[in-house]
Structure 1
Amino acid sequence: MYSTKPSYVHKVGEQPLKYVTIGQLLEEVAKNFGDRKAIISVHQDKFLTFSELLDKTDKVAASFKLLNLEKNDRLGIWAPNLLEWCITMMACARAGLIAVCLNPVYEAPEIEYYINKTQIKALVSRTAKVRPWETSKQLPSLKTVIRISDDFKRGTYTFDQILDMASSTEIGIIQKLQLTISPDDGCSLHFTSGTTGKPKAALATHFKMINNGFLIGKRMELAGKHHTICVQVPLFHVFGTVGIIMAALNFASTIVLPTDGYQPEKSLDAVQNRKCTVITGTPTMFLDLIETQEKRKEPVSVEKALLGGAPSAPHLLEQILKTLNMSKSVYGLTECTASVFQSVPIENSPFLVYYLQEHVEAKVINDKGEMVPFGTPGELCIRGYCNMQGYWEDEEKTNEMLSKDGWLKTGDQFILEEDGSGKAVGRLKDMILRGGENIFPKEIEELVVTHPPVVEVQVIGTPHKRLGEEVCVCVRIKPQSHLTLEELATFCKGKLAYFKIPTKMAIFENFPRTASGKIQKFKLQEMLL
């Protein structure tokens, strides 16, 4: 029966939110689980227990102070998945600094924008492409570069030097400093993924990161057992920083870094050799993982899979359930710290129902800002502890997304149900307007990906003189497979309304992606145009 109730849900928490800092939480975990491994970096052949992580974190934090970094100064982390990445992030939290999480694949000219945007004062990097004395005019804020390398470069520090710089007295000062750092202090800047344009930097606090990580881990059922988490996603993304590091810290779980980048073979090796019980990744990563596992056909110890970073089609979830025997997924965005909806699996079924997380309000509105009834698509808005403080030094863009009464407009077309469940229909910006009909690509993508030759699909709108836009399907197909537009149209006939059936098709070997695995639709459109 059609609902007339306005689509508003408030998910009340079962327990209070944690009012602690990241540094205080690390201390607590090190006290209770000091000998447990916190991080295993397989490709570096190194590991740290929680006690060792706290010890190295405070040494680095004390050295940051010796390098004249003060509270709320920004420190950039421009490196792949390494032990040093995790130490640096924790050290920023213990020193009261704001960590700026940077994509490790950016080149020096690109990184200039990010450094200047957030006035980064120090940079921890594995590369030597940026040196303060060479870039003083282009990068006036940058004073210090710390390299994760043994090679000496004039004017920079090595990470090992930073570890050995501070005395025991100076390290003791960091421990006392924890009383002066508030859970409400900013601690990280994550840039939006850049799928629709120039990235903006969203500011999160200790409070937001800890609690979002806790609630992700809670619904993942990490409590009550020691879990080992295989990390496929880059740590600089909120999925890595919050959905993995903060979730693991809350539940004293061990994180495993198979490589400094992403290789499905290495991920499965880590699952086997390190007995991982949880594996994380984007939908694309799981597609690769499934293909690899189907070739290897080895028993896997994994109990849970966490998908994020991009929407997960039911067909993919069915494949994961069949091949790896598990699947869970999250919906969220950088501006909401990480996750706001998370799936609850139905036994023996690939269908996942997304439910609102605790301590969060959600509503769905139309283009006039009015709430629509339950079950009706509209723009999803979120209010709660998880919403960002704002975009760094961008009041105009902040006000566009965050209302004065605290509602954050996600830009996602969403359907919300009265029980707090919901599903994303697609990005509002991705909507195709064909001859007066509104078409959301996600519906078409979820059908086309079930066609046997298709591995991955993206649907975009391309200009049409008479209709305004037409539906173009971009596909990756299996090796030695063949697919024509006529064959695809025949497959869609009877399953989609005639105006949704693609009238153009392009076959790609690879899709343009962000470092976190999201497909950049605007680049697909540029390539086709």
Structure 2
Amino acid sequence: MLNKKLQIVSSHLLRKRVTIKLLRCLSAVCSPRVSHLHHIGKEPLVYRNVGQQLELAAADYGSVEALVSCHEGKRYNYKSLLNEVDRLAAGFRKLGLRNGDALGVWGPNSVQWYLSMMGAARAGLVSVGINPVFQGPELEYCLKKVNIKALVAPEKFKRQDYYEIIKSICPEISDAKQGRITSGKFPHLQTVIIDSKSRFKGTLTFDEVMDLDKDTVEITELQRSICPDNACNVQFTSGTTGHPKAAVLSHYNFVNNGIHVANRNELEHARCCVQVPLFHAYGVVISIMAALARGSTLVLPSQGFSPKDSLQAIVNEKCTVIHGTPTMYVDLVRTQLELKAPLGEINKAITGGAPVSPQLILDMKQVLGVKAVHSVFGMTETTAVIFQTPPGDSEDNVLHTVGHLQDHVEAKVIDEQGHTVPFGQPGELCVRGYVTMLGYFGDVEKTNETIGPDKWLRTGDRFVLQENGYGRIVGRLKEMIIRGGENIFPKEIEDFLNAHPDILEAHVLGVPDERLGEEVCAFVRLRPNVDPKGITRDTLREYGKGKLAHFKIPRYIVQVEAFPKTTSGKIQKFKLLEAFQKEGEQGDLKTAII
């Protein structure tokens, strides 16, 4: 009797388990899986600082060329590069700079820029990349925002006279003793270093700092006390507050992202033509840190981007990899169609900084003879790369996605309520992992808006995540303009335009552009009795001298009588874009009545 009861109970439990299993299967079929992936890489993360990474590269690739500057005629292998970096790091320490102090690096691509960034890392300092075309007010903001203690700059670049710009905002430099500035406006700034043979009042030359302390033993010993979790770099990134935010990145961020970028791009023995500016996250991580990881050679064709110089460098230096933004590749393709010179064997073109069109990828292969195109996608706040093309990827993936989720990175896509959407549905991309910045310098509120208590970082990108780990950008939730890889925030330009004596009100947005991806368009309402012909791109360019970087001057100026607004008084920028596109179809982009 007992056995029979046990058999009945056992049969009931068995049927229950089968039912539960069946329900789970049905649930899996009926309910789509949510957009969440954690891609565990085969190679583990490492715990070392940037200085140790350079030291390791010098040990493994000592005689390999590390850096070639075509426009300066300079070459370094990894061993000699480490020696030069340590001489500069020792000089920084001799000046009194200590762990955690901010060192501004302001200038175009050069050996001096590379040595300064690496010297700062080896000295325990925090390097701060500053756009080489920034004017006085923009430089002033950078110096104050992150308490820059020392600034390194060249003498000139194009029309930029760096010393004169510094003197215009810090006149005390003229009366300062060398390396000892005292300024009420800049209480932290102590030293300005100019890379020049000439001597400027109140400054030190770059060579003088290199020779301050030739004993570099202390620098080697110092590496053990520089924690990989500490800040090593600040990147100024865009925002909607009218000023850029200062994203703080760690040694751990830099080293590991560099390693995994190098792995995907197969950079062993590569010679990379670097067209991107080194002060960007692209240049400093995807170029510099990735090269350290696999002992590849960085070739700097010119101070600033020049397609002819790039093509010449590719030929002369036998470059096998090219680094650039989509805009740069557009110009490179056009120039190559004119010159038609043999370029040699180019294994890869790495593109990032803005979305790349499928047609451009095809042009890069056909015109430049590139064997493979690799996309990198990310943001400054995620140390450059979170999605990237894997080696040997299919043409369909290359043409229609931004690549596969990076190793050791977690990603999800959410709706407006914060719920994770099913795979294949658009929403906001969020990421979590070793790539996440430490935060925005001096801005807890903005940091908390971007990174939640659960450590998920909200990118602001409208994104589709596929179950196979690939992703597509379908739009941006932010108003940020990406012009040829340059991040531009509208409010800064609006503030600049609103200060113009003839402009009553201005609103700025990005509009589509075939070459640059986006261009800056300003909608302006003029003051009464003002001649409309007086507000043009040329007059604004003249007005902006010394006030605003040239790439922020609006390409299009659209004059309006009134702005479309919501009932609450907010400007409806989407209607401005619609009006622009309508006027464009009619062939008139100069004026519009809205």
Same fold (TM over 0.5): yes
Q: Which of 379, 402, 405 pairs up with 1:333? A: 379
1:130 aligned to which of 166, 176, 187: 166
Q: How far has the Cα of 1:503 moved from its partner?
A: 2.9
**Number of residue pairs matched?**
465
1:154 maps onto 2:201 in alignment = yes
Structure with greater helix share of residues: 2
Local SS of the residue matching 2:464: strand
- Deviation, structure 1 residue 37: 1.1
Q: How does 1:398-409 map to 2 (within 5 A)?
A: 398-409=447-458
- State the alpha-carbon separation in 2 of the partners of residues 525 and 369 from structure 1: 41
Partner of residue 407, structure 2? 358
Answer yes or no: is the 8 Å Cα contact 2:326–2:516 preserved in 1: no
1:253-311 per-residue CA deviation (whole Å, 9 max, x = no partner) reads: 11001101110000000000000001011110100000001111222232100111111
Cα gap change, 1:279 to 1:202, in 2 (>3 Å): same
* Cα 1:193/1:460, change in 2 over 3 Å: closer
Residues 85 and 116 in structure 2, CA contact (< 8 A), matched pair in contact too: yes
Identity %: 44
Counterparts of 1:70-469 in structure 2 under 5 Å? 70-126=98-154, 127-128=162-163, 129-130=165-166, 133-134=172-173, 136-168=183-215, 171-193=216-238, 197-223=242-268, 226-300=269-343, 301-324=345-368, 325=370, 326-344=372-390, 346-347=393-394, 351-353=399-401, 354-430=403-479, 455=515, 458=518, 469=574
Unaligned runs of at least 5 residues, structure 1: 432-447, 475-484, 486-501, 509-523
* Contact residue 460 and residue 472 of structure 1 kept, 8 A: no
Q: Which amino acid aligns with 1:340?
A: I
Aligned partner of residue 45 in structure 2, secondary structure: coil
Deviates more, 1:389-398 or 1:193-202: 193-202
CA positional deviation for 1:197: 4.4
Shift of 1:65: 0.9
Closer/same/farther in 2, CA of residues 90 and 264 from structure 1, 3 Å limit? same
Say if 1:2 and 1:211 are closer, same or farther in 2 by CA, change over 3 A. Answer: farther
Q: What is the alpha-carbon distance in structure 2 between the residues aligned to residue 395 and residue 316 of structure 1?
A: 40
One-letter identity of the residue aligned with 1:120? I
Task: Kindly state the Cα deviation for residue 137 of structure 1 after the two structures are TM-superposed.
Answer: 2.2
SS for the counterpart of 1:327 is: strand
Match of 1:53 in 2: 81
Segments of structure 2 that go 5 or more residues without pairing to the other structure are: 1-28, 155-161, 174-181, 481-511, 524-562
TM-fit CA distance, 1:51: 1.0
Q: Distance in 2 between matches of 1:277 and 1:528?
A: 52
Q: CA deviation at 1:111?
A: 0.2
CA contact (8 A) 2:64 2:78 kept: yes
In structure 2, relative to structure 1, the CA distance for the partners of 1:459 and 1:248 (3 Å cut) is closer
Query: In the aligned structure 2, how far is the partner of 1:83 from the partner of 1:191?
Result: 22
**Residue type of the alignment partner of 1:212:** N
The amino acid of 2:222's aligned partner reads L
Q: Structure 1 CA distance, aligned partners of 2:30 and 2:565?
A: 38
Q: So what's the TM-score if we normalise by structure 2?
A: 0.73
Q: How does the TM-score come out when normalised to structure 1?
A: 0.82
Query: 1:421-455: CA deviations, max 9, x gaps?
Result: 11111111359xxxxxxxxxxxxxxxx98xxxx65
2-side partners of 1:328 and 1:2: how far apart? 36
Give the whole-Å Cα distance in 2 for the aligned partners of 1:109 and 1:506: 38
Cα distance in 1 for partners of 2:393, 2:50 equals 34
Q: How many Å apart are 1:473 and its aligned residue?
A: 7.5
In the TM superposition, residue 2 of structure 1 has moved relative to its aligned partner by 9.2
Matching residue's letter, 1:418: E
Q: State the alpha-carbon separation in 2 of the partners of residues 359 and 93 from structure 1.
A: 24
User: CA–CA distance in 1 between the matches of 2:219 and 2:204?
Assistant: 21
Q: Which amino acid aligns with 2:224?
A: L
Distance 1:4 1:464 in 2: 41
Contact 1:460 1:471 in 2 (8 A): no
Q: Secondary structure at the match of 1:56?
A: helix
CA distance in 2, matches of 1:22, 1:526: 52
